[in-house]
Amino acid sequence: MSATGRESVNYSAISAPAKMSKQLLILFGVGVLVIGLGVFFIVYGNRGSHLELKGNILKIRTGALSDADSVAVLDMRLENPSDVPFVVREVEVTLNKQDGSSATAALIAKSDIHQLFQFNRFLGDPYNDTLSIKDQVPPHGTVDRMIAARFDVPDKDLENARNLHVSIQDMDGPLFEITHSVK
């Protein structure tokens, strides 16, 4: 006891845990900062490894092949913003009709495109190469391609359809899809 009759309190014993928690808090903050920076640099370093394809349909040309069959020629521009090439595995074109039903197209082979345009002058001239299996869109590149699709529907139904849906799948699995109105 002190001369005044009070007990003396040891303040150094109380401040030791306060100093310890302050050091712990600083180290915890530094640790979170280091982990955050590590995650940032990992994600930033791999941003181009995510394979994706961007694009749009520039023009759709349609016409009747017979009373029951029609053809659509889609001119497309495809862009690959990633660091790896997009290699085409599969192309599918689907017609969504006004009544809600759909029709899948039979794609016209690259070797038959010349004959298609030669005997169906209403389609005009082929502007681009045909998009086919194993075609590549180079990393950070843009290509213009054409897809010719034959539908088992009359030309009137093709012209009045709600839209055309194009799916392009890469060899490794990623899928690019675009929907565009026929008109």
- 43-49's contacts with Cβ under 8 Å and 24+ in sequence apart are 48/81, 48/82, 48/83, 48/84, 48/139, 49/82, 49/83, 49/84
What's the pLDDT score for residue 22? 81
Q: Which two tokens stand for residue 73?
A: 């020629």
What's the pLDDT score for residue 50? 72
Q: Are residues 70 and 113 in the same domain?
A: yes
Q: Are residues 70 and 16 in the same domain?
A: no
What pTM, to 2 d.p., does this model score?
Answer: 0.72
Q: Are residues 32 and 64 in the same domain?
A: no
Domain that holds residue 19: 11-45
What's the pLDDT score for residue 43? 77
Q: What is the CATH number of the domain that holds 64?
A: 2.60.40
Listed residue (139, 126, 154, 130) closest to 64, CA to CA: 154
What's the pLDDT score for residue 15? 54
Q: Are residues 84 and 18 in the same domain?
A: no
Q: Are residues 15 and 101 in the same domain?
A: no
Q: Are residues 96 and 41 in the same domain?
A: no
Q: Are residues 30 and 109 in the same domain?
A: no
Domain-embedded: residue 95: yes
Q: Are residues 30 and 65 in the same domain?
A: no
Listed residue (86, 115, 110, 101) closest to 152, CA to CA: 101
Q: Are residues 97 and 35 in the same domain?
A: no
Domain-embedded: residue 138: yes
How far are the Cα atoms of 81, 91, 129 from residue 132, in angstroms, in the given order? 20, 7, 9
Q: Are residues 41 and 114 in the same domain?
A: no
What's the pLDDT score for residue 2? 54
Q: Are 86 and 136 in contact (CB under 8 A)?
A: yes
Domain-embedded: residue 1: no
Which 3 state secondary structure label does DSSP give 112? Answer: helix
Domain-embedded: residue 101: yes
Q: Are residues 35 and 123 in the same domain?
A: no
Q: Report the domain count for the chain.
A: 2
Rounded-to-integer distance, Cα 152 and Cα 5, Å: 106
- Report strand pairing: 129-130 vs 141-151: parallel
Domain-embedded: residue 2: no
Q: Are residues 24 and 88 in the same domain?
A: no
Domain-embedded: residue 154: yes
- pLDDT, block means (10 residues), the chain with 183 residues: 57 55 85 89 70 89 92 94 91 92 92 90 90 92 94 91 93 89 83
